[in-house]
Amino acid sequence: MKWNVGTKIAIGFGLALAIFVIVGVVSYRGTTQLIAASDSRKNTYEVLGRFEETLSLLQDVEIGQRGYALTGEESYLEPYQTALGKIDPTIQEVRKLTGDNPRQQRRLDALEPLVKNRLTVAKENIDVRRTKGLDAVVQFTKTGGGKALMDEIHKVVGEMQNEESALLKQRVEAAQANAENAKWTILLGTFGALVLGTLAGFVITRNISRPLQELTAVAERITVGDLSVNVQTNTRSDEVGVLARTFDRMTQSLRAMAGAAEEMAAGDLRSTIKPQSPDDVLGNAFARMSDNLREQIRGLIEGANVLGSAASEIVASTAQLAASASESAAAVTETTTTVEEVRQTAQVASQKAKLVSDSAQKAAQISLSGRKSTEDVAAGMNRIRQQMEAIAASMVRLSEQSQAIGQIVATVEDLATQSNLLAVNAAIEAAKAGEHGKGFGVVAQEVKSLAEQSRQATNQVRTILGDIQKATGAAVMATEEGGKAVEAGTRQTEVAGGSIQALAGSVNEAAQAATQIAASSQQQLVGVDQVAGAMESIKQASTQNVAGAKQLETAARNLNELGQQLKQMVERYRV
């Protein structure tokens, strides 16, 4: 039989309750018997009282009858008449009270005729007194009939009184014995119940309360996080044994989770937790947390590896970009120097063209001076032709420099496009890196902005270069026309010896050509100034590109260091 805690408590208190029930039953029986004995004594006292009342009534009958017999007055018959109405009911009440006693009933059967006979004698005596007088009554009384009946009545009543007195004594003794038994039963039962209750309380305290106190102490230590406690388990099959084994399993489960948590804190994520059951909320949550943490660390390791590789590639790309930007800046600086030289040459050519124009005007004025002046004009035209050739050469170099600038601009535009693509890739990698890639995302956005500025500046430079190339083409055409004009002037000068008028015409044509050359030189100077301004803008943009490339390289190096640190951090975890 499995004795659980409820069964033990129920048995202990059941025994005590059984004793109290027994004591109560015995007390009830004793009390019932005492009440019955009291009722019996009361009944006996009532029977004795009725006997005394019957004798008293008979005495009243005799007294009334004697008084009337002696006096002849009806007033003396009042006790007699009163007694006549009470004697029979009194005897019937006695018969009723002694209905359970056959002997008393038999005595009553003998008593009733005697009483009736005595009443009959008393009535005859009264009748004799009424009818025959006092002497007749005296003679009737001397016969002794009434006295003999009274003696018999006293004898029967005495026997009945003795019977009732004996019964009263027996009932009193029985009541005392029952009271004594009930008293001892109550005392012994109460003592036994107290002893049994004390023993049950001791057993329950020792068998239940003490183990529960130990389990409570263990639970308090577990509550404050002390999992080094040992739960004493036993082979008890009751609730206390089940509770102890349950506490032991709970402690082992908590120890297992604590050990797994320490391994996780040390970076070892390979440990697994098996929940006690599908309803184990803490175990299932811990297992899911471990699995999720393992997956996150795997993803973080992969992300760190990808971030490290991407950062290394970005560092290489930014280094290459910085080198390309530096080379572009150097090329732009060299181009700017060349453009400045072209501008100075154009300025000199413009000044020369102005001098040619002035000389042509003077030649026109002094064309009438003679052959000598014509020779001077021829010499001047030769000088103009040489200068025009120099201008044409300068314009050719300017055109070549413009083409070189166009190539540089194309290179800068390609660099801006690559920077933009690099910024987009860097932004994508920053988005993959999450919170750690926000700084790199900002740098990528800055690189993208610088690339856009470089592209816009490149477009402006391309537009300006187009204008310069157009102006250079016009200057070349003008120079060719000037060269043709100079050649024509030279031919005219060679044939000017024939006619001063022809010389004057030729000088006028030379003056007009010189004016056109001066105007073309001025336009060329303006175009070269625009090219110089554009190259200055390109130089500033290149400087900004170099600074942005250096910033991007620094950010890429920082990102590479961050990736390496992140990789070192995640390498501590073992999944």
Give the other-Cβ count within 10 Å of 505's Cβ. Answer: 15
Q: CATH classification of 296-571 is 1.10.287, yes or no?
A: yes
Q: Is 435 exposed, middle or buried (0-12, 13-18, 19+ CB in 10 A)?
A: exposed
Question: What percent of the chain stands above pLDDT 70?
Answer: 75
Report, as an integer, the average pLDDT of 294-315.
72
**310-323 pLDDT, tens per residue?**
667 766 766 776 67
Q: How many Å apart are CA 175 and CA 183, to the nearest integer?
A: 12
Please write the tens of the pLDDT for every residue from 356-408: 667 767 756 765 676 676 677 677 767 877 776 777 677 677 777 767 777 77
With contact defined as beta carbons under 8 Å apart, do 456 and 330 qualify? no
Environment class of 119 (CB within 10 Å of its CB; exposed 0-12, middle 13-18, buried 19+):
buried
Query: When comparing pLDDT for 37 and 157, which is higher?
Result: 157
pLDDT average, residue stretch 78-92 = 86
The predicted structure's pLDDT at residue 145: 66
Average pLDDT over every residue of 78-90: 85
Q: Are 337 and 372 in contact (CB under 8 A)?
A: no
d(CA 506, CA 261): 107
Instruction: Pick the more confident residue, 80 or 283.
Output: 80
Provide the 10 A C-beta neighbour count for residue 317. 19
**Could you give the CA distance from residue 95 to residue 517 in angstroms, rounded to a whole number?**
180
Whether 1 has a pLDDT exceeding 80, the answer reads no
Nearest 5°: phi and psi at 109?
-60, -35
Q: Of 45-54, 128-137, 237-246, which gets the smallest average pLDDT? A: 237-246
Per-residue pLDDT at 153 exceeds 60: yes
Average pLDDT, the chain: 75
Extents of the domains making up the chain: 5-213, 296-571
- What the block records as the tokens of 523 is 């336009």
The two tokens of residue 53 are 């009342």
Q: Which of the pair, 475 or 74, is modelled with greater confidence?
A: 74
Do 492 and 503 meet the contact criterion of CB atoms below 8 Å apart? Answer: yes
574 DSSP β-pair partners: 268
Give the pLDDT mean for 242-259.
75
Does residue 82 register a pLDDT over 80?
A: yes
What integer pLDDT is reported at residue 281 of this predicted model? 75
Residue 500 has pLDDT above 60, yes or no: no
Selection from 78-92, 204-218, 524-538 with the highest mean pLDDT: 78-92
Q: What is the per-residue pLDDT for 238?
A: 66
Report pLDDT for 5. 58
What SS3 state is found at 271?
coil
Is pLDDT at 234 greater than 70 in this prediction?
Answer: no
